[in-house]
Amino acid sequence: MVLKEIWVARHGFREDWVNDNPPLPTNLRNDPPLSDFGRQQSLELAAYLKDKSIDRIYSSPFYRVLETVYPLVLECDTPLFIDNAMAEWYGLTHGRYLPCAPLPELKKLFPKLDIEHHSSSIPLPTEVETEHDCHLRVKKGLNILVDELDSDKGQPQAILLSGHAASAICAVRALLNDSHFYVNTGTCSLSRLIRQDDKTWKIMENGDCSHLSQGEQRSWMFSGDVPDYELK
């Protein structure tokens, strides 16, 4: 038995998009939470996915991404793990990779997070990443993760990958083996891919936002090695 279905979600609307001084649950300026609107989006995401038989969730280690999927975890008791393949991309902006909170701290903030039964497919980056580097990082991580899940005795059939615009784009592209495929990435958008008999992946939904009451918000696409949200 092999993995059959992968959902890919982007996090919800960020608090720092509406508030210049957001609360920082992890005390990291680069790690803001969701806004009230983003939390509403996360509830709508959970309502849509709760009957989709998702066996596991693999999330970026950043607070807003975990906060996005946590209503689904609470609703369905879906196992939640960290995988750095889905972590944020900063491009060349900062001269280094900005950190996330340590796993034990994230566990305190999200008690259902399982930090014991999955080791991330790849380490968190430490250096700057070009757009190309981000694609390579996500593809390497997902290749490892899918191989592990295919041989997992628990036989997971469907998973959710939860990340950021960049990692969501790269994840879909990696699974399709097409580095130029256009991926829609509004906040709390969903892509869905199913596995074919030859083990290739086919996209069925591309950044769909029909589950969201206010539709697509802040869709994003690569436009070079510096993310446009860092140009301030």
Q: Residue-wise pLDDT tens for the chain (232 aa)?
A: 799 999 999 999 999 999 999 999 999 999 999 999 999 999 999 999 999 999 999 999 999 999 999 999 999 999 999 999 999 999 999 999 999 999 999 999 999 999 999 999 999 999 999 999 999 999 999 999 999 999 999 999 999 999 999 999 999 999 999 999 999 999 999 999 999 999 999 999 999 999 999 999 999 999 999 887 654 4
Q: How high is the pLDDT of residue 54?
A: 98
Backbone angles phi, psi at 17, to 5 degrees: -80, -15
Q: How high is the pLDDT of residue 228?
A: 76
- Enter the tokens of residue 179: 């580095």
Rounded Cα distance, 62 and 75, in Å:
21
Rounded Cα distance, 167 and 100, in Å:
15
Structural domains of the chain sorted by starting position, each given as residue range(s) with its CATH number in brackets: 5-230 (3.40.50.1240)
Q: How high is the pLDDT of residue 230?
A: 59
pTM: 0.97
DSSP state of 14: B
Secondary structure of the chain: what % helix, strand, coil (to 5)?
35, 15, 50
- Please give the order of strands across the beta sheet that includes 190-195: 80-82, 56-59, 158-163, 5-10, 190-195, 201-208
Contact 112, 74 (CB under 8 A): yes
Q: How high is the pLDDT of residue 229?
A: 64
3-state secondary structure (DSSP) of residue 158: strand
Q: How high is the pLDDT of residue 232?
A: 43
Contact 80, 112 (CB under 8 A): yes
